[in-house]
Amino acid sequence: MTETPRTALTIAGSDSGGGAGIQADLRTFFACGVHGMTAVTAVTVQNSLGVHGFTEIPVEVVTAQMRTVASDMGVDAAKTGMLATAEIIRAVAATADEIGLGAGGESAPLVVDPVAASMHGDALLREEALEAIRTELFPRATLVTPNLDEVRLLTGVEVTDADSQRDAADALLELGPRWALVKGGHLDGSPRCVDLLSDGTHRIELDGPRHDTAHTHGGGDTLAAAVTAFLAKGLGVGDAVSAGKAFIERCVAESYPLGGGIGPVSPFWRLAPEGTPGPPAS
Ligand code: PXL
């Protein structure tokens, strides 16, 4: 018998292709050494070429998953990903308060990754649900981690440079989260990827290399999940985001082609630094 590890809960959608959503979160939690638990919100039908559709899980089943793991196993940190509908968002927010997640609850940090669409541009959120993310979820978040498209949808700020990145962080913080991370990875033309983490008082610039790869499926989920894992292990937000950024950089550098479209980022390196044993895949 060994010691019980820290626990992390992801409240998110399933990606049948295994590279994003719940599947990315679980493999990241595992690679970062925490026990992963899930509240599935929706099941997508997708492969590397795109999302063919999704079905949401009945709202009472989503909240029951949250309550059931929290009451028995405990949650050291949680994250939200694809939440699909305003009804699910409202129920997740209320249940987060009830089980002690995020600012409205008592103790466990809550990372909100406001997933709106896949990399192919396929919607993962019903249109009326954006407002519920703003009003129900953001005020409860310890940290929000939108990509630049989600920043624009949520705040109207178009991030094109360092100044607008700061404006975006301020606009996100006005919606109520304790911290906002504005990622710079998608700023075209820059050889570096400078992310901005702010709580309104502290502005921390996180600088890293930008890897040119087409295979970045699940990148946002993997970063948010790694930060959640490090928060579960007891790091503060600044340290957890720095550790998460170091983790995702390597996952992007080691992403792989799979199928005919966008392949996933990969946490394999963390488990088998010398290369995965066994015969090559093809
Ligand atoms: O990467 C965002 C994301 C989150 N959750 C699910 C997804 C995707 C992207 O495709 O499918 C279920």
The one-letter amino acid at 99: I
What does the domain layout of the chain look like in residue ranges? Answer: 7-269
Report whether pLDDT(232) > 80: yes
Position 60 scores a pLDDT of 98
Position 185 scores a pLDDT of 62
Q: Is 221 in the pocket of ligand 1 (CB under 6 A)?
A: yes
- Under DSSP, is residue 147 helix (H, G, I), strand (E, B) or coil? coil
Contacts of 257 (CB under 8 A, 6+ apart): 214, 215, 263
Scanning 157-275, the segments in alpha helix (DSSP H) are 162-174, 219-232, 237-253, 268-271
**Among 57, 124, 148, which residue has the most ligand 1 atoms within 8 Å of its CB, making it the best to mutate?**
124
Position 118 scores a pLDDT of 86
Tens digit of pLDDT for each residue in 53-74?
A: 999 999 999 999 999 999 999 9
Residues 137 and 146 sit within 8 Å (Cβ to Cβ): no
Position 188 scores a pLDDT of 61
Tens digit of pLDDT for each residue in 85-118?
A: 999 999 999 999 999 999 866 689 999 999 998 8
What does the alpha-carbon distance between residue 141 and residue 162 come to, in Å, rounded to a whole number?
24
Q: What is the mean pLDDT of the chain?
A: 92
The residue whose CA has the least distance to atom 2 of ligand 1 is 118
What does each C-alpha distance from 226 to 128, 246, 248 come to in angstroms?
29, 10, 8
Ligand 1 center to 220 CA (angstroms): 9
End-to-end CA distance of the chain: 38
The residue whose CA has the least distance to atom 7 of ligand 1 is 21
pTM for this model (two decimals): 0.95
What does the alpha-carbon distance between residue 158 and residue 45 come to, in Å, rounded to a whole number?
31
* Domain covering 7-269, topology: UDP-N-acetylmuramoyl-L-alanine:D-glutamate ligase (3.40.1190)
Tens digit of pLDDT for each residue in 179-223?
A: 999 988 656 667 788 999 999 999 999 999 888 889 999 999 999
